[in-house]
Chain A
Amino acid sequence: MYNEIKKSQNRLDGYEKVTGQAKFGADLNFGHQLYAKTVYSEYPRAEIVSIDISEAEKLEGVVDIITYEDIPGENEMFGRFPVLAAKEVKYIGDGVAVVAAKSKETAEKAVDLINVEYKEKQPLFNMKKAYNSKDDLVHTDKEDNIIEHSHHLMRKGNIKEGLQKADVILERTYYTPFVDQAYIEPEVIVTIPDPYREGIEIHGSIQNPYSIRENVAKIMDLKISQVKVIHSTIGGSFGGKDESVMLMAARTAILAKRTDRPIKMVLTREESMLESCKRHAYELNYKIGAKQDGTIVAIEDEVYTQGGPYNNKAMFANWRGSVHATGPYRVENVKTDYYGVYTNTIYGGAYRGFSAPQTVFGSESLIDELAYELDISPKEIRLKNCLKEGDTFATGQKFGPGEIPAPLADIIEGVCEHSDYEEKRAEYKEFNNKHNEKKKGIGISCTIRGAGLGGEGIDTAGATLTIDQDGSINLISDLTEMGQGMRTAHSQIAAETLGVSLERFTFINTDTSIIMDGGPTVASRGTLAGGQAVIEAARKLKERLKKVASKKLDCKKEDIVIGNDLIYHKQNKEKTIAFEDLIEVCLNDLGISLSAQGWYNPGPEELDEETGQGKAYPTYVYGCAVTEITVDIKTGKVNVDKITAGYDIGTPINPQQVKGQLYGGLLQGLGYSLMEEFEQKEGYLKTDNFDDYLIPSIKDMPDIDIKLFDIEDDFGPYGAKSVGELGIELVAPSVTNAFYDATGRRIREIPLNLERTLLGKSLSK
């Protein structure tokens, strides 16, 4: 029995958020601050002939203007991003110059006065053309346009022999677009010259403070410890507030140092959509071989992921994709290859799911097509092939007791029963026979997802807990709160471990100068890895408290229990001391440190890079969704009526927050399925704000029913695994599968906007 976890508790930062007091980046103002604005490229690919800033410099109120010539250190950050383009612009979001002025309006005017002369070049937009090109290169120091370390593969069994055993082979290609995280808060950076260490201090909407610190130090030619990064309250990120804020931090750092004044840069929505990373656009080519009874014998796939001109992430996302390309199924013969490709377009990066929404759309459409080809129920074909005890994953990892749990069959059965899947399939068939204007459909999809970073990197995390004189407890993690509720989950874990109440906890925003870098807040690892660090810190404090209490209560340390804010002898309740009183003894009488650091290090995962075989992830989470839709045959409009979903995410530390993550993910997935897409024409964005980049409104929300399967798995803190990214990935395939069920038409490219559903193609392509 737990007191503080597995319990829906109100979030610790709720009060400041409902009263408008929470300080987001744009709410920060410092004396004498200047406002910075970037001059962006005018062409998707061009040589920079000259940059004339003389007119802008004359404008009253302009304090400083920088170009590539003013960068103190290297003009290249992680992922090949230049702070400002030097010789060539490689996409329309490249920065060329930055203005700092006394007002926002003046900065805007000055940007228009900067005259850049370009010599246009023929851009490389098409991913396959770029992939095949050896003479037209986005980066001329390379031999091809394949992103460094982005080719990841999986080899299991023998693909040729596997396909020969098949009674039926399907070959299919699926496409997914670039999409935006579309957090409601646009990016903000405020950078202050730091006189105490001759360095700088950076605030703002920063998902990963440590990587920003490293990159800024490099371009500023400063020591890493001279750069201090503190994130503000973050208005959503979902992976996105990373590359763009790195560029903003670098540019404002240079200006802050030169002008010796605080520099504030707030992106407009248009700038955010232009300059921030997107979910990579994918082309997924699949070949699946199966027996007549539906048993899958082989899957071969080749996946191309579009990266744009710079790339922080394809090498990681493609690895994650390659592990999961065959879905949650037992497949003896696998051949998978993922390639990231440079193009002169907007660029790909992290967005909730990090390859999963694309890959799962491909693999779950594929198995659905196989089901219809073999005239087997989509549910039954999944049940037949899904990973069960004794099976091995594409990575060779074994599932079963004492190893990795394999609960997917139970989840599929549970969700199908709960949603009356088979009954409704029959019912909708009947309905469709009688109705011509409206058609109803039901679709299913399921997934497996590696928990945490796995082979992408070591899943380390750090946390420091400090108990103060009044018994309040401060928690600092190296991981960031972006709205997902991590600080509440961490505090619940700490409270549970220490045996005290949640009300004691306060939390501070991550500050790179006071806690060590434990890695980025990504891969749904905030609770998984961060929670383990919190447990370790809490256990250290608990040991110290027990030691003091045993002397005070005159008993053995082993007999001491801490619970409900009391410290007592486990059999003799008369020997009790209140938490506050014990703290006073520790701090005032004995001078004992009540600050402890926890560090979690599961060690690196072991993998064979030549075959992809090995322990890719220590454990996995699972999900299954059933989606019901209505299609208006006259207009092509698809309405999602209901989503029933089941997940195994391990122990829900805070069930209300867990559901909030899943609801939010599902609705982003609905946007991905039906409406979200960046339209580009000749390298220019046709969608750059919420009037044409559509995201789901409250009116688009379907009926959602979620069931949590809390399957025992000892790996995470109190059995908790990952949840943040899981919600989004099941929606698109279940919607397109439902569309097929409704209309008999298979659409292999999302989103299912009116053009695609009505005409079978996109008018803008």
Chain B
Amino acid sequence: MQKIEINLTVNQRSYELKVKPNKRLLDVLRNDLNFTGVKEGCGIGECGACTVIMDGEIVNSCMVLAGQARDSEIITVEDLESENGLHPIQKAFIDAGAVQCGFCTPGMILSTLNLLKENSNPTRSEIKDGLEGNFCRCTGYKQIIDAVELAAEMMRD
């Protein structure tokens, strides 16, 4: 298969890449660009471990082909920490005990980021709707919901 040239902006930095058009965005991010915070859990768009934000929308990067991602802006978990330290969502996930094995955490945090962008004060039920696409097998989700509430509070202040 002929490789195509694509331009991707990942975490505010622009990349020119030559890839096969059917290569998954997940593999481009993990293997070509070394953003290993993006995880692969199922490969069929069910578990949400590979969640990234693409042009402002939550996507499963295992279900997006490189060709489809052309000229898009991607945000991965690696973008969240700044010189001021951890993002409030990251801090809240630690403080609320929302992290156990940590494999779902990057995706969960990105879904939270988008949720709180659209709704700065979500109810517990709205949080459940916002994180429905991200499986976690360790926490039973309760402390994740607590973390989202805590993050919302920190971000409003």
A interface residues with partner B (beta carbon < 8 Å): 8, 10-11, 13-24, 26-27, 181-186, 233-236, 238, 268-269, 482-485, 656-657, 659-660, 662-668, 689-691, 695, 697-699, 701, 704, 727
Contact = CB atoms under 8 A, between A and B. Distances in A.
B41 A269 contact: yes
A11 B101 contact: no
Given A17-B102, A27-B36, A699-B128, 16 more contacts: A11-B99, A14-B93, A18-B90, A19-B86, A182-B137, A183-B103, A233-B102, A235-B103, A656-B143, A690-B46, A690-B47, A698-B134, A698-B141, A701-B140, A701-B141, A727-B140
B128 A698 contact: yes
Interface in B74-120: 76-78, 80-81, 86, 90, 93-95, 97, 99-106, 109
A181 B49 CA distance: 16
Interface in B50-94: 76-78, 80-81, 86, 90, 93-94
B140 to A, nearest CB: 3
Nearest to A21: B37
Interface residues of B, number: 50
Contacts of A236: 100-101, 103, 137-138
B78 A704 contact: no
Nearest to A670: B140
B103 A484 contact: no
Nearest to A268: B43
A20 B30 CA distance: 12
A485 B134 CA distance: 21
Contacts of B144: 698
A656 B150 CA distance: 15
B44 interface: yes
A483 B93 contact: no
Contacts, number: 165
A634 to B, nearest CB: 24
A16 B90 CA distance: 10
Interface of B: 35-44, 46-47, 49, 76-78, 80-81, 86, 90, 93-95, 97, 99-106, 109, 127-129, 131-132, 134-145
B143 A663 contact: yes
A689 B46 contact: yes
Contacts of B102: 13, 16-18, 22, 233, 235, 483
Contacts of B141: 663, 667, 698, 701
B142 A663 contact: yes
9 contacts: A20-B78, A24-B36, A26-B39, A184-B41, A185-B39, A483-B102, A484-B100, A668-B137, A697-B132
A15 B86 contact: yes
Interface residues of A: mostly helix, strand, loop or mixed? loop
Most buried by A among B76, B86, B102: B102
B40 to A, nearest CB: 7
A16 B101 CA distance: 11
A690 B137 CA distance: 12
Nearest to A701: B141
Contacts of B49: 184-185
B43 A269 contact: yes
B131 to A, nearest CB: 5
Contacts of B40: 26, 186
B128 A17 contact: no
A21 B99 CA distance: 14
Given A18-B109, A20-B76, A236-B137, A184 B128 contact: no
A690 B135 contact: yes
Nearest to B106: A20
Most buried by A among B35, B80, B99: B99
B134 to A, nearest CB: 7
Contact of A660 (B35, B94, B103, B143): B143
B47 A184 contact: yes
Contacts of A8: 97
A249 B99 CA distance: 28
A661 to B, nearest CB: 8
A24 B39 CA distance: 9
A701 B43 contact: no
B105 A17 contact: yes
B119 to A, nearest CB: 16
A690 B44 CA distance: 8
B111 to A, nearest CB: 10
Contacts of A662: 140
Contact of B42 (A21, A269, A727): A269
A20 B77 contact: yes
Contacts of A695: 135, 137
Contact of A19 (B39, B81, B100): B81
A-B pairs with lowest CB-CB distance, top 10? A20-B37, A483-B101, A17-B102, A235-B103, A663-B140, A667-B140, A690-B46, A14-B94, A483-B100, A20-B77
Nearest to A19: B81
A19 B140 contact: no
A269 B101 contact: no
B44 A689 contact: yes
B154 to A, nearest CB: 14
Contact of B135 (A184, A233, A485, A659): A184
B137 A184 contact: yes
Contacts of A235: 39, 101-103
Contacts of B145: 698, 701
A16 B103 CA distance: 11
Contacts of B135: 184, 690, 695, 697
Contacts of A667: 140-141
A104 B19 CA distance: 15
B90 to A, nearest CB: 4
A546 B40 CA distance: 50
A483 B105 CA distance: 12
B137 A704 contact: no
A181 B138 CA distance: 10
Contact of B100 (A27, A660, A699): A660
B99 A657 contact: no
B12 to A, nearest CB: 16
B36 A19 contact: no
A663 B139 contact: yes
Contacts of B39: 24, 26, 184-185, 235
A485 B37 CA distance: 20
Contacts of B81: 19
Most buried by A among B49, B105, B131, B145: B105
B77 A185 contact: no
